[in-house]
Amino acid sequence: APVATPAAPVATPAAPVATPAAPVVTPAAPVVTPAAPVATPAAPGTPSAVISDAPKIDGVPAVDGAEAPKRKSRFSAAADALSEDGGSGKKRGKAKKEPPVPLTPEQAKAVEIKGFSDKAKASIKKGDFEVAQGLLESLVAVDLPHSEKKVALQEVATVYEERGDLTKPIAIYEKLCVVLDNDGDVPAWLLKLGQLYRDAGAYQMAISRYYGVIQLGMKMGSSDFTRYQGLTRQAQREVANTYFIKGDFEQAQKFYNMALRSDLPKEERAVAMFRSAHCTFMRNDMNGAVNALERFLKDFSRHASAAEARYMLAMSYKNLGRPQDAYDTVIELLREAKGKAEADPKAWAFWQKKAGNEFANDYYQRGDFVNAVTIYQALAALETAPEWRWPVVYQMGLCFERLRFESRAVECYKYIVEENTKPEFRWKKMPQSVGNLVKMAAWRVEQLSWEGATSKQLRSTAGTEVPRSVSR
């Protein structure tokens, strides 16, 4: 039978020959099938393609070896219909979109409020405060109850606060407290107002808003009081904190002690006890401060405020003329607080450095070089950064010089010079004070070496020890 080839037909005895009865695809009616390409007209002088055994569609078989035509026939349309309904006769095209459900007037206004709120927040972040003010006024003017607007208003107030503008959040929360005076969020708004007023320096206004929370709690029934009990306790603490920031330590201590008489959780009790002791210390009642701080450290030795408590205790001992107790407290803070710094490592490090520096420098100025160098050694172990360790080691060198331990002093100065030559420090940008310290350490090494050599020569000449002045 003849086979369609680009060149000439080749006869193969095994293949069946197309009979005249089988319909042959002509150029006038190309066929498209979903699986096989449709036959195209044969080139002039070339026999027609052989009909394949592909499945028939509407009685027309597919043809192998032909490209699909650019225009679909009626058979391809039928194939598309079969592919869409999967043979079931039901068309599976894209589902029709349901028409949008019209919003109720209240819903439309809620969408409008959200739009104003989002635009106002974006304007505030960009710094367009005039635009934001206009949008905020439009938000307030929407004809809906304020209870429907309160969330949007609080969000706008938060954005103003983040930008550092305290007056507008205060105005927003004040308005909410007035127009929604029966709302369940009023105590939280009053607490927020107290914080904003305190941050703005209006301490008396802050205290009055905190008192408002306490009064609301007293007016509530038994079930409501349980609900707002946490807010009431928080308001009492904030009143005490505000008096403390204001500098009225007597009133602050009164509220802290009032809180201690109630059944507080452990953390709240620790904070109230520490701040009450702090008030006693700030009132210059050193005996009372010692008693209060010792009680606090006995109960809460690992608390985040324990480092500051030890510092105040050491200062109290010092002011009471108990230097050895003060020294022991500082050494305990520097050496034994490593395992206790888990609550707040940064706070512990701060108070360790502050206490150590103050007491070591005080001992040095008073000529107590032994206690001074002991504290400096503990300070050097706190941190490895050159900005911290090298000045402390230099002070150790000065103490050893005053104690006539020149060799130990040279070790301290050489440590600074040699550390500065290490690659990790040599190319590191250091503060100018550190650079000057390295130069001073190198000069002290040369000076002590010269003094040692000169003293040795004089001893060999005179046969006696030559005294050296230690005052520099």
Tokens in use for 226?
């349980």
Answer yes or no: do 371 and 275 share one domain: yes
Distance (Å) of CA 75 to CA 26, 32, 50, 78, 79: 14, 7, 20, 5, 6
Tell me whether residue 47 is in a domain: yes
Could you tell me which residues come within 8 angstroms of residue 371 by beta carbon, excluding any fewer than 6 positions away? Answer: 327, 360, 363
Answer yes or no: do 13 and 40 share one domain: yes
Distance (Å) of CA 334 to CA 342, 355, 356, 370, 388: 15, 9, 7, 16, 15
Q: Which single residue is written with the structure tokens 């911290």?
A: 388
Answer yes or no: do 315 and 340 share one domain: yes
Helices (H), 200-320: 203-219, 222-246, 249-260, 266-282, 286-299, 306-319
Tell me whether residue 157 is in a domain: no
pTM metric for this prediction: 0.65
Residue 396 carries which side chain, given as an amino acid letter?
M
Q: What is the longest distance spanned by two Cα atoms in the chain?
A: 142
Answer yes or no: do 332 and 316 share one domain: yes
Answer yes or no: do 435 and 457 share one domain: yes
Q: Specify the length of the chain in residues.
A: 472
Let me know: does 420 contact 426? Beta carbons within 8 Å: yes
Tokens in use for 224?
């409501």
Could you tell me which residues come within 8 angstroms of residue 332 by beta carbon, excluding any fewer than 6 positions away? Answer: 310
Answer yes or no: do 352 and 373 share one domain: yes
Last residue of a domain, one of 20, 54, 80: 80
Answer yes or no: do 355 and 277 share one domain: yes
Beta bridge partners of 60: 57
Cα 2 to Cα 24: distance, rounded to the nearest angstrom: 14
Predicted pLDDT of residue 321 = 93
Tell me whether residue 98 is in a domain: no
Taking only the tens place, the pLDDT of each residue in 43-75 is: 444 444 444 454 444 444 544 444 444 444 444
Answer yes or no: do 392 and 367 share one domain: no
Let me know: does 334 contact 378? Beta carbons within 8 Å: yes
Cα 213 to Cα 235: distance, rounded to the nearest angstrom: 6
Cα 373 to Cα 377: distance, rounded to the nearest angstrom: 6
Work out the angle between the directed axes of helices 406-420 and 386-402 (0-180°, nearest 10).
160
Tell me whether residue 312 is in a domain: yes
Number of alpha carbons in the 13 Å side-chain half-sphere of residue 98:
3
Answer yes or no: do 305 and 324 share one domain: yes
Predicted pLDDT of residue 457 = 73
Residue 269 class from Cβ within 10 Å (0-12 exposed, 13-18 middle, 19+ buried)? middle
Distance (Å) of CA 107 to CA 148, 150, 365: 11, 16, 75
Number of domains within the chain: 3
Tell me whether residue 226 is in a domain: no
Q: Which single residue is written with the structure tokens 């490209």?
A: 67
Helices (H), 336-405: 345-365, 369-380, 386-402
Let me know: does 169 contact 121? Beta carbons within 8 Å: no
Answer yes or no: do 320 and 406 share one domain: no
Q: Which single residue is written with the structure tokens 């029934």?
A: 221
Predicted pLDDT of residue 145 = 64
Predicted pLDDT of residue 284 = 94
Last residue of a domain, one of 377, 392, 425: 377
Cα 126 to Cα 33: distance, rounded to the nearest angstrom: 60
Distance of CA 271 to the CA centre of its chain: 24
| Three-class secondary structure of residue 223 per DSSP | helix
Tell me whether residue 146 is in a domain: no
Cα 163 to Cα 158: distance, rounded to the nearest angstrom: 9
Domain ranges, residue 362: 267-377
| Three-class secondary structure of residue 139 per DSSP | helix
Residue 261: left (phi > 0), alpha (psi -120 to 50), or beta?
A: alpha
Answer yes or no: do 439 and 350 share one domain: no
Residue ranges of the chain with per-residue pLDDT less than 50: 1-52, 54-60, 62-89, 470-472
Predicted pLDDT of residue 115 = 75
Predicted pLDDT of residue 102 = 67
SS3 helix, strand, coil % of the chain, rounded to 5? Answer: 65, 0, 35
Answer yes or no: do 387 and 371 share one domain: no
The CATH number given to whatever domain includes residue 373 is: 1.25.40.10
Tell me whether residue 143 is in a domain: no
Let me know: does 231 contact 193? Beta carbons within 8 Å: no
Tell me whether residue 158 is in a domain: no
Last residue of a domain, one of 61, 80, 99: 80
